[in-house]
Structure 1
């Protein structure tokens, strides 16, 4: 039986370990961070295909939603729900164009009037004239989901820092860690922003964008936000315990900021936007999580065979949406040797 070493214990590494287990393969996960990862623990967790950069990217994201549903059917108690999204980040003609584009792709889009929005979100203060409703969209806690998938996979987890990949006769055979060497038949990098440093000695430059993400969680509140809400100023969702989760940047999926600024200023501004959305609610700071989001240079996933035999890559944003489907198809490629058409546009070779 082949032995796979997965570097990275976030949602991507966890999904890979689970899919390997389903195919009768064993995996070892090595990670500097605890199970659940770093970027995964600071994720908004919005599962959607309404945001995409190209047609192949849309299809991958849409299949990501289906892959999440397969996981919830296979494993009970996963932290995945399907509340849908009310979206009005664009208005007027731009909103209508978004609706037309998504419908042309087969996405389910419902146009909401002001009265329908108010009925769906009674606590919303400034109610827009129109919005779009995406009923197929969902929410997951990627860190919690990662821990569940790792537990289900039975993968051995080693807390260690990988210093370099090791190779023999032109083939990657493992990794050197601060605890010593690890040997495997193949290595998969699910290492997010740490990937370029591991690839550089092998002669592959993987460009990554600097995209810091700050996620704010509030105190527990009464049920006021039953959907993912995407407005021009703020995206927000509410969990089962009543906490609001909000990225500190508006439209965080397409955010191009390379720095966050002063944390107190950013957090206070986010709280003010939330209070404006839900007037009359006692909204206060609960906690924060910050991480660099793993966004490749062109914004698209990097998935497939690495620059040398024995090495595979799985680096992407948003892993929350994409990790389950990427894991399904990449593991099929690794085990079966047949490349997936769904992943064809996202190969590492485009950067060589």
Structure 2
């Protein structure tokens, strides 16, 4: 029996204006589809984007299809950033315990989101932020008739889909609570991303570095504490200074952001329709994969599925 052909949607609601949602909305709108992007957070920033180390890489990604997807994501980041009026990808290279990876880089998430939202508006798409949709029915009440709802709500994805269909991969969409510290310093010794036994550090623009510690995150989970300057900074400072052999100035400014990281039940991306009029885009590697997934999703919705998504369907 031949599978029924699902017509290309003419009006789409995208829920979630993080890296995946904002870029997907822009690419879909550029194909002539009416798009309304809604977001609980103010446009251009989300808790997850602020707390992301934003390292674009393919290290340790398994299985092989997932590793290749991340490699392709890194390539698309570089290509689209170079071609855009707003550059967001800094190809600094990375060093992991002394091994060099010259193609890696990091993303200025604010610049990336600003570029996607500008593309969305230029293509005729609409943004409605400050709207917290608590169900898909609520989305339809807010926006009126839509042919499809694309759920790219990160850790909130499973809750939005709870009444749609039982799907083991979407039993949860919330991973661990992670943090990112930004440290303001006039001078620092970093010219690339460095990963040293669970400590990850990188430049973050002029006069600032960004730092993540997997060890401190594990300790916060063990004690039930929430990441903040008070709970993180003393141990993080000692870890940075010990790893880099660099004394952080006493007057350095410190900011700590934290957020629940999106994570499907099996840890892999979950991309595709869960019903005829509901599509999901959930992935842990949201920053790395966003530009690539946005292109593949836009094609997918117009009947041009890419084989790279086959292993990651709901």
| TM-score bin (small chain) | 0.7 to 0.9
Count residues in correspondence: 293
C-alpha separation between the residues in 2 aligned to 1:14 and 1:150?
6
Of 30, 35, 40, which aligns to 1:32?
Answer: 40
1:50 aligned residue = 59
Superposed CA offset, 1:94-129 (max 9, x none): xxxxxxxxxxxxxxxxxxxxxxxxxxxxxxxxxxxx
CA contact (8 A) 1:14 1:147 kept: no
Classify 1:140/1:184 alpha carbon distance in 2 versus 1 (closer, same or farther; 3 Å): same
Q: Map 1:306-321 onto structure 2 (within 5 A).
A: 306=274, 308-321=275-288
CA contact (8 A) 1:19 1:328 kept: yes
Q: Secondary structure at the match of 1:175?
A: helix
Gaps of 5+ in 2: 1-8
Structure 2 residue 132 is the aligned partner of structure 1 residue 161: yes
Which deviates more from structure 2 when the two are superposed, residues 4-13 or residues 33-42? Answer: 33-42
Q: Map 1:1-352 onto structure 2 (within 5 A).
A: 2-35=10-43, 36-88=45-97, 131-154=98-121, 155-159=125-129, 160-166=131-137, 175-176=139-140, 180-205=142-167, 206=170, 207-250=172-215, 258=221, 261=225, 263=227, 264-276=230-242, 277-282=244-249, 284-306=252-274, 308-335=275-302, 337-348=303-314
Q: Secondary structure at the match of 1:286?
A: strand
Which deviates more from structure 2 when the two are superposed, residues 289-298 or residues 23-32? Answer: 23-32
C-alpha separation between the residues in 1 aligned to 2:173 and 2:26?
27
Superposed displacement of residue 191, structure 1: 0.2
Superposed displacement of residue 338, structure 1: 3.0
Superposed displacement of residue 256, structure 1: 11
C-alpha separation between the residues in 2 aligned to 1:267 and 1:327?
36
Classify 1:143/1:250 alpha carbon distance in 2 versus 1 (closer, same or farther; 3 Å): farther
Classify 1:215/1:292 alpha carbon distance in 2 versus 1 (closer, same or farther; 3 Å): same
Classify 1:41/1:85 alpha carbon distance in 2 versus 1 (closer, same or farther; 3 Å): same
CA contact (8 A) 1:248 1:267 kept: no
Gaps of 5+ in 1: 89-130, 167-173
C-alpha separation between the residues in 2 aligned to 1:5 and 1:300?
24
CA contact (8 A) 1:225 1:237 kept: yes
Q: Secondary structure at the match of 1:39?
A: helix
The TM-score with structure 2 as length reference comes to 0.86
Q: Secondary structure at the match of 2:280?
A: strand
* Root-mean-square deviation over aligned CA pairs: 2.2
C-alpha separation between the residues in 2 aligned to 1:241 and 1:73?
20
